[in-house]
Amino acid sequence: MGISYDASVPSPADKLVVERLRVRKGKNAILNGVSLTVRGGEILALIGPAGSGKTTFLRCLNRLIDLEPELAVEGRLRLDGLDVYGEGVDVPSLRRRIGMVFAVPNPLPMSIRDNLTLGLRILGAAAAGPPSERIERSLKAAYLWDEVKDRLDDSALKLSGGQQQRLCLARSLMAGPELLLLDEPCSGLDPISTAKIEEALQGLKSRISVVLVTNNVKQASRCSDRTAFLLMGDLVEMGETGLIFTNPQNRRTADYVSGRFG
């Protein structure tokens, strides 16, 4: 399964197909049969008030939800045709194809360089290209290269919050993922770091598909190509970002994007 870092022109075919995804904790439903598709080379924003199941949805995509055995997951997920929840799926391999950036930056207590190469060490076999080239490319893609290029061996914990989050973004890009998941990556970050991350996403989208969960409606309208609105576990509406914000079909969508509730 060769993952080439420089993927060629993305196909317009669907990258990820989600069919009737349902997640339950005991009797409570967290997701009620959500179905959507993620296209290749697009940024899909997932918006909705807190508790709607956006994070849960995201964690289903790379099966991080497996870490919570009390949740029951049903439905079909296909990544490039591969049934994510199928029999005999090698979950670690799956996760290597998908990058994830968490809401709270979680750099590991090691040097910047070690943080970045962790993914390669996990891959084991010598991945294509010498590490230092990849490090530079990932850091540039995350708009962090200039700030840390002279101190790659410093501890990652010395960076500011915004820098740490960009480091986490660079880290997730090191193994050349096809799909990038971001869970409210800019919550709590200063506006400059936020802007840099949004720029980074724009730069990435030609090569990778991006699913961006965000609490910030304005960020969704700035960054994404399409937007999906999740409310209390239901997918209420989904479509071209421009249309969702200017002319939503559903009244609840209109209420949410205009800030009448949130």
Partner 1 sequence: MSRRWINRITFLFMGLTGLACATVILLVALILGHIAYHGVHHLSWEFLTTAPRAGMTEGGIFPAIFGTVFLVLLMTIAVVPLGVCTAVYLQEYAPAGSKLVHAVRLAIQNLAGVPAIVFGLFGLGFFIEFAGRSVDRLFYGGQLHFGQPAILWAALTMALLTLPTVVVATEEALRVVPRGHREAAYALGATRWQMVRYVLLPQATGGILTGTILAVSRGAGEVAPILFTGAAYYLPELPRRLNHQFMELGYHVYVMATQSPDVDATKPILYATVFVLLTLTFLLNFSAVVLRARIRRRLAEGR
Site of interaction with partner 1 (CB under 8 A) = 62, 64, 67, 69, 92-96, 98-100, 102, 104, 106-110, 118-119, 121-123, 157, 168, 171-172, 175
Q: State which residue, 107 or 233, has the beta carbon closest to partner 1.
A: 107
Q: State which residue, 121 or 260, has the beta carbon closest to partner 1.
A: 121
Residue 136, SS3?
helix
Least separation in angstroms between residue 19's CB and partner 1 is: 23
Q: State which residue, 96 or 226, has the beta carbon closest to partner 1.
A: 96
Least separation in angstroms between residue 188's CB and partner 1 is: 14
Least separation in angstroms between residue 156's CB and partner 1 is: 11
Strands (E), 26-159: 28-39, 43-47, 71-79, 82-83, 98-101
Tokens found for residue 34? 């959500």
Contacts of 198 (CB under 8 A, 6+ apart): 186, 219, 222, 223
Do residues 227 and 211 touch, judged by C-beta distance below 8 A?
no
Least separation in angstroms between residue 246's CB and partner 1 is: 35
Q: State which residue, 124 or 191, has the beta carbon closest to partner 1.
A: 124
Q: State which residue, 81 or 124, has the beta carbon closest to partner 1.
A: 124
Q: State which residue, 117 or 224, has the beta carbon closest to partner 1.
A: 117
Give dist(CA 101, CA 174) in Å, integer.
13
Strands (E), the chain: 14-25, 28-39, 43-47, 71-79, 82-83, 98-101, 179-183, 209-213, 226-231, 234-240
Phi, psi of 152 (to 5 degrees): -65, -20
Strand order in the sheet with 82-83: 28-39, 14-25, 71-79, 82-83
Give dist(CA 24, CA 32) in Å, integer.
8
Least separation in angstroms between residue 118's CB and partner 1 is: 6
DSSP state, 141?
A: H
Least separation in angstroms between residue 96's CB and partner 1 is: 3
Contacts of 252 (CB under 8 A, 6+ apart): 229, 231, 236
Least separation in angstroms between residue 46's CB and partner 1 is: 17
